[in-house]
């Protein structure tokens, strides 16, 4: 681009957000990161050194005011900041509503005050619940737990600002993102963090159910490319599903990682398969995944040392960590 645009990336020190920073800087943007480092890490951006086109504001998005200087010269805003994980959302729903909904409203007001040319919201495919596959963007919305509800309400807020205030908004509903820099500590959840620590420790992989369940994994750099396209397109008011379009089973992942398996109970309310219909994003943004599942897993294994301090999960600790899940999500068992 001839004149550099400024892109604000909330959650830019996080897993996907830091990949977004990479892509935006490579594209020629000036980048402003907003992150409270509750899930992100400064180390995720360290490879950029003292790049003059990268500046960081370490703050909670709920503390942002419309005149926040980090937004003052913004052309585009890409909003990743929020809190994830399913079980903690069941235990602490008010936190999720506060950050993922009210925090999003704060960012929307900053974007509106800056009169940005595009606001791209990182939505979640969890809004679909137990969906038919492959899942299209017009599938009924059926959030099953507070995290899913909070991300969908954040999406609704973004489009409300689009309709009422004319803020140019697009949203991308991410399916199962994976890749380097994914969080290595915290709540039980993401399969890669669980399995990689178990591999480092020589322990068997704790496979949920029979392992035949499949997930539509999409690599973080491919996710970032999609968000860049959504920020630069002339389209506005659009929602796109984003996945690899090629679901992979958990059993296949353990084959790639090699090692023994043990099985833990299947969790109620979880789909057997997630699978994004990516025909709309491919047609309208010209996006297609570049990193195959096998390539992505290999890239993560090259960096497996980052999981050395991650929690080591076994069937007993998983059962303890997911008690709340079974308490509230097992509708049949409690009927």
User: Which residues are known to be catalytic?
Assistant: 147
CA 134 to CA 32: how far, in whole Å?
A: 36
Question: Which residue spans within the chain are E strands per DSSP?
Answer: 6-10, 30-35, 54-58, 76-79, 118-124, 169-174, 176-178, 205-208, 214-215, 217-219, 238-242, 248-249, 261-264
Residues contacting residue 310 through CB under 8 Å, at least 6 positions apart: 184, 185, 193, 196, 197
To 10 degrees, what angle do helices 293-302 and 250-257 make? 50
Task: Pick the closest to residue 198 from 184, 213, 212 (CA basis).
Answer: 184
Q: Which of 78, 3, 11 is nearest to 232 (CA)?
A: 78
Asked if 210 and 267 touch (Cβ cutoff 8 Å), the reply is no
Helices 250-257, 191-200: axis angle to 10 degrees equals: 30
The bridge status of strand 205-208 relative to strand 248-249 is: unpaired
Contact 329, 271 (CB under 8 A): no
Q: Quote the strand ranges of 223-323, DSSP E.
A: 238-242, 248-249, 261-264
What is the rounded CA–CA span in Å between residue 121 and residue 79?
Answer: 5
Task: Please choose, from the candidates 273, 290, 264, the residue with its C-alpha nearest in 3D space to the C-alpha of residue 133.
Answer: 273
Return the number of other C-beta atoms located less than 10 Å from residue 330's C-beta: 13
C-alpha span between 274 and 276 (Å, rounded) = 7
Task: Look up residue 204 and give its DSSP letter.
Answer: P
Q: Which pair of tokens denotes residue 255?
A: 């084959």
């Amino acid at each position: 681009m001839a004149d550099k645009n400024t892109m604000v990336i909330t959650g830019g020190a996080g897993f996907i957000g830091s990949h977004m920073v990479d892509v935006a800087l490579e594209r020629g943007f000036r980048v402003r990161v907003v992150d409270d480092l509750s899930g992100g890490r400064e180390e995720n951006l360290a490879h950029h050194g003292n790049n003059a086109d990268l500046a960081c504001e370490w703050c909670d998005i709920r503390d942002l005011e419309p005149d926040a200087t980090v937004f003052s010269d913004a052309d585009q805003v890409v909003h990743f900041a929020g809190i994830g994980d399913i079980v903690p959302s069941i235990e602490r729903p008010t936190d999720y509503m506060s950050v993922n909904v009210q925090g999003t409203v704060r960012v929307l007001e900053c974007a509106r005050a800056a009169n940005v040319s595009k606001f791209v919201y990182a939505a979640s495919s969890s809004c679909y619940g137990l969906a038919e596959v492959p899942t299209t963007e017009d599938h009924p919305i059926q959030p099953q737990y507070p995290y899913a509800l909070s991300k969908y309400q954040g999406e609704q807020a973004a489009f409300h600002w689009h309709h009422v205030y004319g803020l140019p908004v697009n949203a991308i509903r991410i399916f199962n993102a994976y890749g380097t820099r994914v969080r290595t500590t915290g709540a039980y959840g993401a399969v890669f963090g669980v399995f990689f620590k178990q591999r480092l420790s020589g322990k068997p992989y704790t496979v949920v159910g029979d392992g035949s369940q499949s997930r539509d994994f999409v690599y973080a750099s491919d996710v970032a490319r999609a968000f860049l396209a959504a920020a630069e397109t002339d389209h506005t008011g659009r929602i796109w599903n984003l996945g690899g379009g090629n679901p992979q089973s958990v059993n296949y992942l353990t084959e790639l990682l090699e090692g023994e398996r043990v099985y833990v109970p299947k969790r109620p309310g979880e789909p057997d398969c997630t699978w994004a219909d990516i025909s709309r994003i491919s047609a309208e943004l010209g996006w297609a995944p570049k990193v195959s599942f096998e390539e992505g897993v290999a890239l993560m294994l090259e960096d497996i040392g980052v999981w050395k301090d991650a929690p080591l999960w076994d069937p007993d600790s998983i059962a303890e960590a997911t008690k709340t899940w079974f308490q509230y999500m097992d509708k049949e068992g409690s009927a």
